[in-house]
Structure 1
Amino acid sequence: MPLASPTVVALSDQDPRELGQYRVAGRLGSGGMGSVYLAEGPTGLVAIKVIKPHLAHDPEFLRRFRQEVAAARKVSRWCTAPVLDGQLAETPLWVVTEYVPGLDLGRHVKEHGPLTGAAGEALAVGVAVALSAIHQAGIVHRDLKPGNVLLSPFGPRVIDFGISRALDTEQATRSGQMLGTPGYMAPELFSGQVEQAADIFAWGCVVAAATSTTTPGRSPFAADNMMQAFHRVMQEEPDLNGVEPTLRELVRAALARDPAARPTAEELVSQLSGPGTTVAEVARTLRLGVGYGPAMAPPPPAARPAWRLRDLAIGAGAGVAAVGLVTGVVAGLRALPPSPPEGTETLYDETFSSDDSGWDNSGLTSPTTERGYTGQGRYTMAEDYSNTIQWSTAPVNAVLPDRSLVSVKMDLSQAVASWNGVFCEYSKTDDAKDDLIYMLQVSSDGKSKITKVAGTVWEDLTPDLTIPPFDQKAPVQVRAECVREGDEVRVALWLGDELVAEHVDQGVTTAAGRPRFGLYMSAGKDSKSRVSYDDFTIARLS
């Protein structure tokens, strides 16, 4: 079976070469919360997650991060990627987990089809074993999905069972936002009830998606947004016709709407492996047999060309034993450059030096207009008595590429309690019911987030993330990376040279319209908030 291409990239001058007793070989991924590195330690290959300094100095984040790491270290290594080490008392903060080679389950099914027969049963048992270990440590995973199951040479490994929510949980509590992936969320999660039985429901969805021969890769409650997910789990019965026959009834039991009616993780293991079989016994003998094994070695570290990691054959692909330092990524970590991306060709360039270039001009050209040109070489939008949300689409007649970089200089010196930034749009028509828009935003009080509009449903794809301090009195460079590939949309937001938010949205069947880009702001009523923009460009990404 073919393997995925390596995702390990060479270290830049800003990357560490050593972290404690670990030698760093390459970068596996970067995101709004930190970077993930491949390294070698006394026991072999590991993945090290390094937290960004500005988060490490946030007392509330630090408290939750230490709490989540302590809980994660109690989880048995049965079918998980265990936490091995960490530096939690001084900066930089970092955590070491086992490195897991292999594809994530979602990608495997997409590229190679469903797991059937013994492989499907081994997957079901392995994920149940992992949930047993997680639950025994008193943890609720809360986001079990195919992207959080890695198919290693030694069986399935469940990842991301706690540490990634050191920040997310706090933000969700403040905003009332639900955490989870539509299509894999148990009914009770929609009312704020978080118990271990919710992970059993997700287990049923994952096993069904992985083994179904009629709808491979799709949850029995597949949904594009939270509203649709809520309706399906509350009103509809799961279609399990294509699910592996030996697993179907157990999956049906796991999908019971009543949490008390679902089996426990230990009961799943017993029913799948036979009465009297312990979880530990199953964990020691489990193999998937999907064929993942050694692949290419990562690039050698620039400062240490001779040490033996150069010659190691390691598993490659999206299967990093990550604990969620890349915010919101659904299908595992992807390698990002150490600096903002550069466009290969500028397709549209607007300096706003003239007020007849086609941008929406709702009033007279003036520095105080509600939405329009300032007459001073800038464009402005403001909250007024009737509009707390403002949009303006770049008047581009050409068909823009699916891989685009949108850049603008944004002046927040008059911004008050507002969210400001750019948007990427892929709506099929101009009818509101077909809206598909991603807003990449920075707040006037030092936060960032990505919000999705699908039809009439607004959904925050990331929590409100604390960003590095910046001079609010001076224009700041904002870059939005917007990439559409098939039914997947990837968006990333850069502020200056910092990547402050990113998300990969999968299964977006409605992303069918031609790309459009523009400016966005929202503010509280009577805030009198205003934002100004200059040097707006759209460039092609390679």
Structure 2
Amino acid sequence: MTSYASPTVVGLSDQDPRELGEYRVAGRLGDGGMGSVYLAEGPTGLVAIKLIKPHLAHDPEFMRRFRREVAAARKVSRWCTAPVLDAQLDDAPLWLVTEYVPGLDLGRHVKEHGPLTGAAGESLAVGVAVALAAIHQAGIVHRDLKPGNVLLSPLGPRVIDFGISRALDTEQTTRSGQMMGTPGYMAPELFSGQVDPAADIFAWGCVVGAATSTTAPGRSPFAADNMMQAFHRVMQEEPDLDGVEPALRDLVRAALARDPAARPTAEELVAKLSGPGTEAAEIARTLRLRVGYGETVALPPASAAPPSRRLRDLATGAGAGVVAVGLVAAAVAGIQALPPAVPKPPDVLYEEDFGNDKSGWYNSGSSSLTTDRGYTGDGRYTMAEDYSNNSHWATAPVNAVLPEQALISVKMDLSQSKDSWNGVFCEYSKTDEDKDDLAYLLEVRENGYAKIVKVAGTGWTDLTPDLRIPGFDQKNTLLRVECARGSGEVRVALWAGEELIAERVDHEVAAATGPPRFGLYMEAGKDSKSRAFYDDFAISRLP
């Protein structure tokens, strides 16, 4: 049996619900464009619940689209999907329940265990095609099929997050001006706004190619780092099919035709993979994908008090499961949970006590307790909201190559902070001037809450909710942050004092192409006159 690392489950904060209808909420699995995703226990066992953000519930146009998409999703046959089980759509709070699917997502499986070859690759191909047939028969176009939206369950691959995200299209396009979709898996016609089932067939070809390739496992035949590169590749280049499972290569090539009309339908894919006249329902009943599975998740008894942090008893079994609802705003997944204790780094690479105001940090003027950004003159550093800017970055002036795995620490005095987030940033942009390429903010607020934020291009996404810091001291907060970049992922974790508050692993890190940079960050409300003080900043190497 193959064992997998279990997903990270964050403990419930004071603002999280303990019950939603007849479902007992056990822990938070993530946050997306529509709301937060929770692991819960219901009458039939474990489920995933997406709790809709309150402001969306008061948007009539969003609610109209959302109810329509939920109704359509309920019509999808259960074959190879994670079905909608329940929903509360009329009374606040609004929530949606889907089946909990045990197993890793396809992208993570390929990353950790290699490509699916031979019979496993063919089973994956037919299973995803069967799921698309069921989705299309219900009148739904998925529009974001990718390895992260395919779960490898014991009963074969399950396609998740179909249809529901359509309710966000208008709002996200209007607010960000960005196109919905994942570079490397988008059909050419999606770039001009044409949406039909053929786009999902193109994505099927990319998914199967990425999952079965022995020369470039996990990489789409049209692998791209951004929308512009993706557009160029699908319009001008041929797909890279070297190493793709030979028995599937010709069918994958047909699915990747630039002309939507030249691609096979989902039903035709099923017929070509399984033989003429084969019923999709019969395939779904007999399909198995033997890639190995671990233990199931065991919930604590109902009388147990809600934990203050992550539910470690939900993450003890290998392969504890993956939530069956895709996260719209950020594809965030968990890896093996960190121990609660702060890591003990073997050596300190950089230390700054701010006693020397010529040590290289940005200084907006003469050193004083009232400077906008710079040395205070009493052995600290300060940043404050001013008339021209309510946010500041201060990069540590380290004259050395920083490690891929680092622990950053700083002491903060937030007694003069008002409506302000203050902390550390980890940046992986190409240059120091291009901060919005990719950065993570690990922040603390003066009211005793902390959170992790991802900055990618023009998109700012909360990777965690606001989490309460136990024993918070405004004047003396020791913040310690782990930032670790690996192959295709970045892990960030935040400790306040000795308490692990939150950790996240981000797999959407194509923009993380620059050297690591670390420093201080603050953001305050306009005209808040907020100020934060920093001391004893250090960067250490982690093993």
What range describes the TM-score normalised by the shorter chain of this pair?
Answer: 0.7 to 0.9
Alignment partners' CA distance in 2, 1:370 and 1:349: 23
Aligned partners of 1:36 and 1:322 also within 8 Å: no
Summarize deviations over 1:35-72 as a string: whole Å, max 9, x none. 42142423xx3323252765576546972554443332
TM-score normalised by length of structure 1 = 0.74
Q: Which runs of 5+ in 1 are unaligned?
A: 306-311, 453-457, 469-473
Tell me if 1:303 matches 2:306: no
Change in CA separation of 1:150 and 1:194 when aligned onto 2, cut-off 3 Å: same
2:272 maps to 271
Question: What is the deviation of 1:236?
Answer: 1.4
> Per the alignment, in what secondary structure is the counterpart of residue 246 of structure 1?
helix
Question: What is the deviation of 1:505?
Answer: 3.3
Alignment partners' CA distance in 2, 1:35 and 1:151: 20
Match of 2:361 among 344, 354, 359: 359
1:113 maps to 114
Aligned partners of 2:99 and 2:324 also within 8 Å: no
Change in CA separation of 1:441 and 1:137 when aligned onto 2, cut-off 3 Å: farther
Aligned identity (percent) is: 58
Tell me if 1:451 matches 2:455: yes
| Amino acid across the alignment from 1:75 | V
Tell me if 1:253 matches 2:257: no
2:311 maps to none
> Per the alignment, in what secondary structure is the counterpart of residue 38 of structure 2?
strand
| Amino acid across the alignment from 1:3 | S
> Per the alignment, in what secondary structure is the counterpart of residue 70 of structure 1?
helix
Match of 1:402 among 397, 400, 405: 405
Aligned partners of 2:110 and 2:218 also within 8 Å: yes
Alignment partners' CA distance in 2, 1:155 and 1:180: 25
> Per the alignment, in what secondary structure is the counterpart of residue 247 of structure 1?
helix
Alignment partners' CA distance in 2, 1:191 and 1:465: 34
Alignment partners' CA distance in 2, 1:70 and 1:31: 23
| Amino acid across the alignment from 2:160 | I
> Per the alignment, in what secondary structure is the counterpart of residue 277 of structure 1?
coil
Aligned partners of 1:101 and 1:153 also within 8 Å: yes
| Amino acid across the alignment from 1:534 | F
Aligned partners of 1:102 and 1:319 also within 8 Å: yes
Aligned partners of 1:204 and 1:255 also within 8 Å: yes
Summarize deviations over 1:468-509 as a string: whole Å, max 9, x none. 9xxxxx99x9997633234411357999x9999977135659
Alignment partners' CA distance in 1, 2:394 and 2:249: 50
1:329 maps to 331
> Per the alignment, in what secondary structure is the counterpart of residue 266 of structure 1?
helix
Aligned partners of 2:6 and 2:321 also within 8 Å: no
> Per the alignment, in what secondary structure is the counterpart of residue 214 of structure 1?
coil
Aligned partners of 1:378 and 1:532 also within 8 Å: no
2:532 maps to 533
Question: What is the deviation of 1:292?
Answer: 3.0
Alignment partners' CA distance in 1, 2:171 and 2:500: 22
Summarize deviations over 1:51-102 as a string: whole Å, max 9, x none. 2765576546972554443332222212100010123334444322112112
Tell me if 1:262 matches 2:263: yes
Change in CA separation of 1:9 and 1:520 when aligned onto 2, cut-off 3 Å: closer
> Per the alignment, in what secondary structure is the counterpart of residue 78 of structure 2?
coil
Tell me if 1:423 matches 2:432: no
Aligned partners of 1:123 and 1:156 also within 8 Å: yes
Alignment partners' CA distance in 1, 2:227 and 2:159: 24
Aligned partners of 2:30 and 2:464 also within 8 Å: no
Summarize deviations over 1:171-201 as a string: whole Å, max 9, x none. 2332211222221122233333333322211
Alignment partners' CA distance in 1, 2:67 and 2:408: 36
Alignment partners' CA distance in 2, 1:420 and 1:296: 39
1:51 maps to 51
Change in CA separation of 1:516 and 1:259 when aligned onto 2, cut-off 3 Å: same
> Per the alignment, in what secondary structure is the counterpart of residue 191 of structure 2?
helix
> 1:471-510 counterparts in 2 under 5 A?
482-491=483-492, 504-506=506-508, 508=510
1:122 maps to 123
| Amino acid across the alignment from 2:260 | P
1:145 maps to 146
1:517 maps to 518
Tell me if 1:186 matches 2:187: yes
> 1:342-381 counterparts in 2 under 5 A?
343-344=342-343, 355-356=357-358, 358-365=360-367, 371-373=373-375, 379-380=382-383
Aligned partners of 2:438 and 2:454 also within 8 Å: no
Question: What is the deviation of 1:119?
Answer: 1.9
Aligned partners of 1:28 and 1:320 also within 8 Å: no
Aligned partners of 1:182 and 1:224 also within 8 Å: yes
Aligned partners of 2:176 and 2:458 also within 8 Å: no
Alignment partners' CA distance in 1, 2:260 and 2:519: 45
Change in CA separation of 1:122 and 1:328 when aligned onto 2, cut-off 3 Å: same
Alignment partners' CA distance in 2, 1:101 and 1:60: 35
| Amino acid across the alignment from 1:460 | G
2:27 maps to 27
Tell me if 1:69 matches 2:73: no
2:39 maps to 37
Worse-superposed segment, 398-407 or 96-105: 398-407
Alignment partners' CA distance in 2, 1:73 and 1:247: 31
Alignment partners' CA distance in 1, 2:428 and 2:165: 29
Alignment partners' CA distance in 2, 1:502 and 1:75: 32
Aligned partners of 1:8 and 1:38 also within 8 Å: no
Alignment partners' CA distance in 1, 2:509 and 2:284: 32
Change in CA separation of 1:516 and 1:137 when aligned onto 2, cut-off 3 Å: same
> Per the alignment, in what secondary structure is the counterpart of residue 246 of structure 2?
coil
Summarize deviations over 1:185-244 as a string: whole Å, max 9, x none. 222333333333222111110000111122121111112223322222222111212112
Alignment partners' CA distance in 2, 1:61 and 1:481: 41
> Per the alignment, in what secondary structure is the counterpart of residue 164 of structure 2?
coil
Change in CA separation of 1:6 and 1:13 when aligned onto 2, cut-off 3 Å: same
Tell me if 1:212 matches 2:213: yes
Aligned partners of 2:295 and 2:320 also within 8 Å: no
Summarize deviations over 1:306-341 as a string: whole Å, max 9, x none. xxxxxx9x99527424313584125x456989xxx8
Give the aligned CA root-mean-square deviation in angstroms.
5.0
Aligned partners of 2:330 and 2:463 also within 8 Å: no
Aligned partners of 2:4 and 2:293 also within 8 Å: no
> Per the alignment, in what secondary structure is the counterpart of residue 245 of structure 2?
coil
Tell me if 1:292 matches 2:292: yes
1:225 maps to 226
Alignment partners' CA distance in 1, 2:464 and 2:304: 35
> Per the alignment, in what secondary structure is the counterpart of residue 380 of structure 1?
strand
TM-score normalised by length of structure 2 = 0.74
Aligned partners of 1:427 and 1:511 also within 8 Å: yes
| Amino acid across the alignment from 1:485 | G
Worse-superposed segment, 164-173 or 136-145: 164-173
Alignment partners' CA distance in 2, 1:46 and 1:466: 22
> Per the alignment, in what secondary structure is the counterpart of residue 138 of structure 1?
coil
